[in-house]
Structure 1
Amino acid sequence: MRIGYRRVSTEDQNLERQELADCEKVFEEKVSGAKRDRPALVQMMEWAREGDEVVVHSLDRLGRDLRDLQGIVQELNDKGVCVEFLQERLRFSPGADDPLSRLQLQMMGAFAEFERNIIRKRQAEGIARAKAKGVYKGRRATIDAAEVQRLRAEGLGASAIASQLGIGRASVYRVLNGSYQASEAR
């Protein structure tokens, strides 16, 4: 069976650019490739069986971390599944050990990881500049510290407060021990 996997990083991005012809089943998601625990990826890995072929538009769609990328390809190959990257014209078959293909996977994967790190660095630099100018305020505070304190004064425990306010227990504890700052949620 020919199985496709398509991924973009955000909800507003379009998957259509990643054409995967002749796939009987396609797994799609709109989530960052920085982490391996992506729902559609996990489903695809579980779905694939010996003799299947997984088709991905490009290396960086499968993973942005070199170790994860290599691990995913190896795990699929160990199951008897072939992995093909269309843009790079790379194919990894179970039992076939092509040193040149492995080198290309490592190099291209390293570039994808490098690109991800550069993006994160630029984003952090932009936020720092905006904060210095007073332009960047972050997201709006989601925790009403006064309400947490009031509910605690009424005798409610951290779990009850968290449940009532729709926040995590750790957030309640940060407010109660004085380590919460409204700026961290802004």
Structure 2
Amino acid sequence: MNYGYIRVSTRDQNEERQRLAMGELEIPEKNLYRDHQSGKDFDRPQYRKLVRRLKRDDVLYIKSIDRLGRNYREILEQWRVLTKEKGVDIVVLDMPLLDTRRGKDLMGTFLSDIVLQVLSFVAENERAAIHQRQAEGIAAAKARGVRFGRPPRPLPENFPAVHRAWRSKKLTLKQAAKACEMPVGTFYSKAVQWETTAALPPGLDL
């Protein structure tokens, strides 16, 4: 029986490339398993379900070797479990040499194992390089003043008036925060920020 496994590692990553590749094979739709989760571990519901269903001499198709996991050891371990313990054949579509249906003699297995280890190592190092480039890019952007995350919520329209009333001691800090529908800590931090970026009305002492 033929099976296919698709893993999309982030919400923004499109699975179309993997899906189209699987569509060219004789894989029933019910035998296609998809996880929209990170490969940081194997706590993936569809992957676990697939492994439980696989039986000896079944064939599992994946688009690339890194769909099995995030690092060298995990990829090799999953390969061992599937091929040695479960007796399943694996076909890596991006790498024809990684097709356990071929070369089941000693030399063929030896060559396949070498290719698998090299590709697993390369995949892990490529991910590490990507993360390093991302970290460097974020650091450079922050140095240029680029802000990340959600934009700050605008201050409520009554904030200036409430701020003046609080500073003139007509309102307590708690009352002022409640009037602006903010937690006390948020109101106070916004007030400090307001005072450093906007001129206070005449007659108000900080």
Q: Which TM-score bucket, shorter chain as reference?
A: 0.5 to 0.7
C-alpha displacement at 1:137, in angstroms?
Answer: 3.9
Residue 49 of structure 1 corresponds to which residue in structure 2?
Answer: 55
Q: Which runs of 4+ in 1 moved over 6 A?
A: none
TM-score by length of 2: 0.61
Instruction: Select the structure with the greater relative contact order (CA < 8 A; seq sep ≥ 6).
Output: 1
In the alignment, the residues of structure 1 paired with residue 151 and residue 38 of structure 2 have an alpha-carbon distance, to the nearest angstrom, of: 23
Q: Which residue of 2 aligns with 1:84?
A: 91
Determine the C-alpha separation between the residues in 1 that align with 2:148 and 2:65: 36
SS of alignment partner, residue 125 of structure 2? helix
Task: Note if contact 1:64-1:109 (Cα within 8 Å) is conserved in structure 2.
Answer: no
Residue among 109, 113, 118 paired with 1:102: 113
Question: Over aligned residue pairs, what C-alpha RMSD do you find?
Answer: 2.3
- 1:70-120: CA deviations, max 9, x gaps? 111111111111111111011236xx4511111100111111111110111
Q: Given residue 73 of structure 1, which amino acid in structure 2 is its aligned partner?
A: W
Question: 2:194 — aligned with what?
Answer: none
Identical-pair percentage? 39
Match of 2:34 in 1: 28
3-state SS of 2:43 partner: coil
Does 1:60 find its partner at 2:71?
no
Aligned counterpart in structure 2 of residue 73 of structure 1, from 59, 70, 79 = 79
* Aligned residue pair count: 141
Question: What SS class does the counterpart of residue 91 from structure 1 fall into?
Answer: coil
- Gapped regions of structure 1 (runs ≥ 5): 142-149, 151-186
Other-structure match for 1:125: 136
| Structure 2 unaligned regions, length at least 5 | 153-173, 175-206
